[in-house]
A and B are shown apart, each in its own frame.
Chain A
C-alpha cells in the first residue's frame, strides 16, 4: 500500500542539481560490539549518471546503497534525494517514495517464486494503484523491450539466471523510477549472463536512467560513467563536483 505523504516538491531547477546528495553520513551497527559501517561519507549522484561503487568486502558499499535508497536509517549526516531529506520522512513516506521514484535490482534476483515473470514485473505498478489491465500491458511492454516477451508466463524457477535478472531489471524499471539501485546485479551470473545484463543497464542509462550500482566486478564498474571506491566505511577519493550530465554517449 502506498501512502499519500509526499516529500517536498522539486524546485524548478532541481533537475539541474544532483539527484542524490549525501553529507557526512554515518551508520553504526550494534550487535555486541559497535561497528561503524559508514564514517562520514559525502557522496553525490547527478541526474542521468551511472555510478559504480566498488571496494573490498566489508568496505560499506551495500550499506551506503541501502542508506541512500532509504532501506536503512542512518545514525548521522543527511541524505537528500531529489531535494527530500530521507531521514525526515516517516517509514510510510519513505516506502511511498521508494515505490514512486526508485527501482531495485538485487544480486539474488529476489523474484517472488509464486508469481510469473510478468506478474513480478507488474508488482510496482499495482502497488502504485494502477488498474490491473494497464499494469499488465505496461509490464508486457517492458518485458518485450528486454526481449523476454516469450518468457512472460514462466515462473522464476523456469528461467535461467540471466533471464531472472533481466526480469528483475524490468521490475525495477517498469514504473519509470528516477533512480535505480543495483546491488551486485551480476554477482550470481555467469560471463554471458553478466554481459547481457550489463549491456542492458548501459543501454538504459544511455536512455537517461540514473543508476547506482555496487559491484565487485571491475569489468562492470568500467562500464559506468564514474567509479567510487570505498574502504573502511569511507570513500577513498573525493567525489567530483556535482554536474548535470546527459546520457553517456
Chain B
C-alpha cells in the first residue's frame, strides 16, 4: 500500500504538472499529439517498448497477490467453518462436557454459529482390501448432531450428509486418501494410532463414503478419515475428546473478525469451568491466513526473491526506454533545433518532449497490463508451487495440494499503472535531458555537434563534483545501519565513473573507456570476493546482484570501445569480398559511433544472460552436490512406521537386508513459527514436521554422510555444527535451512524454540533432526520409527520395498525406495529453480524486443544514409545484412560479456559465500539459450532490415521531414 501511495502521488504530481504545462503551452500539446498520431505504427512500436514498465511491475505484483491469495484461499478451504479451537497444550484428552458447557454458555451461544466436540489425532491407515497404506493420516472425530453448523459433507457421488446416518464402525474418507489408497466404499481400513509411550491402538473401520474436497470434506487439506465420535471412541478406547471446534458467524474476513471478537468470550467461559483450566483458545484459521499473507511480504526472503528478479527485468526494460526515447529525440533533432533557434529554451524543449513522452508512457502503462497479465498467468503456477517448498517463511503449503489461482487486486493494477507510468516517464525525461543538449546550428542541418573549446561548464563540473562526493560517502559508509558491502561497491563505481568523466578530452576515448571498463569490472569482482568471503549467503546475494550489472557494464565498455579491432576481421574477409568488408564496416561504424549507449545495450543483454548463467551454475552445483551425496548414501529403502518402534520382517525378507538403521521419529502437527533476521518475523501457522532423534548410531552413520549442504556461518566447519547439534539442545538440523532460522513450537510446557544449525542435504530424513534432549519437549507425541534399509547386493530395492510394504501393511507403514525420494527432490528443486530462469527469459524477450525496436528506429533515422548507400551501389541484400549484422554483433557482445560475467561471479559466489568447492554448469542448456537468442534476434531484426532494403534510394535521398 505504501508503494501505491508513493507512486500514486508521484503519478499525480508528474502527470498533473505536464497537464498544466500542456494547458499553459498549447503548442507543446499540439506538437505532442501530432507527432504521436503522425505515424501510428511507429508510435505503436514506441508504446510497445514502453509497456515493459507496467508489465514488469504487474508481474511482480500478480505473483505476490496470487501466491498470497492462493495460500489464503487454501487456508480458508483447510479450516472450513472452524474459526477457533479449544485444546490442551499437549493435545491431551478432556471431558466432552466442556464442549457442551461452552455450547450452552449464553454469551458463546449468542456470538458463535456452532460449537462441536471433536477428536483430532494422527495415525496410519492400511486398506486391507487393496493392500495399500498411508503412514500419515488425520483422524477426525466429529459430532453428527452439531455438524450442520460446520457444513454438511458432500460425497463424490453428490449426496450430502452430516454423518447422522453413519453406523458404528463406519467412516468417511477424504478424496486424497481414497486416491492414495485406491480405496472404495465398503473397504476395510486398519487404523493405527500411535502413543507417546509405546504400543499403538489399532482398530478397523469400514469406508461408508468418499468425500469431495469441498466444505468440511477438505478439512486440513490432508489425507483424512472422518468418523463420528462414537466410532472414534472405539478406536481410541476413550470417549474423551481433545478438541472443541467453534464456528463464528459470517463469511470471509467478517467471519475472521467475528472469530477474533469471540476469543475473549470463549476464554471467559472456559475460566468458569474447572475442567477446562488447562485448555486454551486458538484462532487457528486467522493465524494461518495471516501467516500465508505474510509469506509474500516484501521483507520476506521469498517475496524479496521475486522482487529482485522483477527489478532486474525492469532495469532491462528501462534501458530500452532510455534508448528508445534517446533515439526518438535524435531522430527529430533538426526539428527540435529549429524550435530552439526560434526561441524555445532547453527547459521548454524538455517540457515539450516530456509532454509527448507522457502520452506514450500513459498509454503504454495502461496497455502494459495485458502482457503483464499474460506473463503472470504463465509464471504464477510454477512460482507458487516453487516457493512453497523453499521459502524462508517455512513452506506453509508444503505437503498439501493448494489450488493455484491467478489473482490481481485492483491496488496491484493501480500500482502497476502508476509506477509503470512514472518509472518510464522518468526514464524518458532522463533520455530527453541527456539528448536535448545540442549545438543548434549543427543540429538544424543534422550534423554532429562540434567539439567546443568552451568545455567544462560550471553545471557539469558541479555534477561531477557531486558524483565524486557521493561516491566517497558511499565508499567510506559513515551510516552504519546501511549495508557496507553494496555501498562500497556503488561508491567505487561512482568514483571510477567520475575519473572517466574527468579524463574526457584529455586522452583518446577508446583508451579512456577501455580503462574505465576494466576498472569497473575489476572493482566489482574484487568487491564481490571480499563480500562473498565475509558475508552470510543472503548479504552476499545483494552484493551479487549489484556486482553483476557493474561487471557487465565494465566488460561491455571494454568490448564495445575495442570493436574497431574487428575491422581486422573485416579486412581479412575483405580480401575475399570487398562488399562483405563494406557491409561489416558499416555495422561496426554504427555500433562504435556511440560507445556508451551501445555498451549499455550490450550490458543489459549481458546482465540478463549472466543471471541465467549464474542460475545454471547454481543448479549444476546443486546437482553435483546431490550426486556426490547420493553416491555416499548407503541405504536403499526408507520405511516410516508412525506407530511402531521396531520393524519386524519375515525371515525371507530379513535375508535380503544387509543393514538397517532405526531412527525414533515423532510427527508434529501444530502451530509453528519460523523466524529469520532477513525476513519479517513469521506468524504462527499449522505445520507438519517429522522429528528425528539423533541417536549415536545416526551420528556415526548418517544416511547422506556428515558433509553438510549449508550451515550457519558461526560454525567454522561441518564437524563443529554436528557437535553443537549433538550436545546443545538449542540446535537442530532442518532440511529447509535458511540463514539464521529459528523455529518455535507450541509444547505442553509452553513455547519450544530451536535454532537451525544447517542442512545435511538429506531428502530421506525430511524434517528436524535433533538430539534426544532437543526433542524432549515433544515426548508427548506418538512415537514411531523410521528405518533405513540397505539391500544385499543383487537385490532390487524397488522389489524389496514392495515386499516390505506388503509385510508391514497392518502397521500402515510408508515404504519408499530411496532412489524415488531423490528423484522427487530433484524434480522439486528443478521446479523451484525454473522460476528465476523463466524471469530472465522474460527479460531476454524484452532485450531482444528492444534490439528490434532500436533496429527499426535506426532504419527510420538513417533513411537518408541508407538512400546514399543504395545510390552508391549497396544492394538490397547488403542493406539487410548491415542491419542484421549490427543487431547480431550487439547480441554476440552481450553473449560474450554475459557468459564471462555469469561464470566469474558464479565461481566467486560459490567459492566465497556458500563455501562450496565443485564448479560446473550445464553446457547444453546454455547452448540452447544462446541459440534461441540468436534465432530470436534474427527473427526480430529481419523486419526492420527488409523495411530498410525496400526504401527507394531516390525517395530516401529526397527525404525532408
A contact residues vs B (CB 8 Å cutoff): 1-3, 28-31, 62-63, 66, 69, 71-73, 75, 91-92, 95-96, 98-100, 104, 106, 108-110, 112-115, 119, 123-124, 126-128, 132, 171
Contact = CB atoms under 8 A, between A and B. Distances in A.
Given A110-B444, A126-B26, A95 B454 contact: no
Interface stretch (B339-347, B565-573, B720-728, B921-929): B339-347
A98 B343 contact: yes
Contacts of B335: 110, 112-113
Given A31-B450, A112-B339, A113-B38, 4 more contacts: A1-B345, A114-B38, A127-B27, A127-B348
A62 B342 CA distance: 17
A109 B439 CA distance: 18
B441 A72 contact: yes
B792 interface: no
Interface stretch (B29-37, B188-196, B478-486): B29-37
Interface in B12-51: 25-27, 30-31, 34-35, 38
Ranked nearest first, the 10 interchain pairs of A and B with the lowest CB-CB distance are A99-B343, A1-B348, A114-B34, A66-B441, A71-B441, A30-B451, A29-B450, A126-B27, A110-B338, A71-B440
A212 to B, nearest CB: 14
Contacts of B961: 113
Given A29-B451, A30-B453, A126-B25, A115 B342 contact: no
B110 interface: no
Interface in B208-263: none
A95 B450 contact: no
B440 A123 contact: no
Contacts of B35: 114
A74 to B, nearest CB: 9
Contacts of A69: 341
B452 interface: yes
A154 B143 CA distance: 87
Nearest to B450: A29
A99 B342 contact: yes
A95 B343 CA distance: 5
Contact of B452 (A30, A115, A171): A30
B82 to A, nearest CB: 67
B27 A123 contact: yes
B75 interface: no
A4 to B, nearest CB: 11
B521 interface: no
Nearest to B452: A73
B445 to A, nearest CB: 7
B439 A72 contact: yes
A1 B351 contact: yes
Nearest to A126: B27
A1 B452 contact: no
Nearest to A35: B450
A127 B30 contact: no
B714 to A, nearest CB: 61
B80 interface: no
B447 to A, nearest CB: 11
B917 interface: no
Contacts of B339: 112, 123, 127
A231 B344 CA distance: 33
Contacts of A92: 345-347
B334 interface: yes
A95 B341 CA distance: 7
Given A1-B344, A30-B451, A106 B440 contact: no
B655 interface: no
B343 A2 contact: yes
Contacts of A109: 960
B343 A96 contact: yes
Contact of B445 (A72, A108, A113, A132): A108
Contact of B343 (A63, A112, A128): A128
Contacts of A119: 30
Interface string B305-340: 000000000000000000000000000001100111
Contacts of A104: 338, 341-342
Contacts of A63: 441
A60 to B, nearest CB: 12
B230 to A, nearest CB: 85
A91 B346 contact: yes
Chain B interface main SS type: helix
Contacts of A115: 30-31, 34
Contacts of A171: 342
A164 B30 CA distance: 20
A3 B338 contact: no
A124 B135 CA distance: 86
15 contacts: A1-B345, A3-B345, A31-B448, A91-B346, A95-B346, A108-B334, A108-B445, A109-B960, A110-B444, A112-B31, A112-B338, A114-B31, A115-B31, A123-B339, A124-B343
Contact of B341 (A3, A98, A128): A98
A131 B341 CA distance: 21
A110 B342 CA distance: 11
Contact of B444 (A31, A106, A128): A106
Given A62-B441, A66-B441, A71 B341 contact: yes
A128 B453 CA distance: 32
Interface string B434-477: 00000111001100101111100000000000000000000000
Contacts of A99: 342-344
Contacts of A123: 27, 339, 342
Given A114-B34, A132-B26, A127 B444 contact: no
Contacts of B448: 31
Contacts of A126: 25-27
Interface string B340-361: 1111111110010000000000
A186 B736 CA distance: 80
Contacts of B450: 29-31
A71 B30 CA distance: 26
Nearest to B341: A104
Nearest to B457: A91
Contacts of A1: 25, 344-345, 347-348, 351
A11 to B, nearest CB: 24
Nearest to B448: A31
Contacts of A75: 452-454
A2 B448 CA distance: 26
Q: By CB atoms of chain A within 10 A, which of B38, B346, B439, B444 has the most? A: B444
Contacts of B340: 95
B353 to A, nearest CB: 13
A100 B342 CA distance: 9
Contacts of A66: 440-441
A114 B445 CA distance: 18
Which of B27, B31, B445 counts the most chain A CB atoms within 10 A? B27
A127 B342 CA distance: 8
Contacts of B440: 66, 71-72
Nearest to B335: A112
B345 A95 contact: yes
A172 to B, nearest CB: 9
A68 to B, nearest CB: 11
A26 to B, nearest CB: 10
A9 B316 CA distance: 53
Tell which of B338, B340, B342 has the most Cβ of chain A within 10 Å.
Answer: B342
Contacts of A106: 338, 444
Contacts of A91: 345-346
Given A72-B439, A72-B440, A72-B441, A108 B960 contact: yes
A103 B27 CA distance: 19
A119 B452 CA distance: 35
A98 B335 CA distance: 17
Given A66-B441, A113-B961, A124 B342 contact: yes
A63 B335 CA distance: 19
B408 to A, nearest CB: 38
Contacts of B38: 113-114
B155 to A, nearest CB: 70
Given A71-B440, A71-B441, A72-B441, A100 B338 contact: no
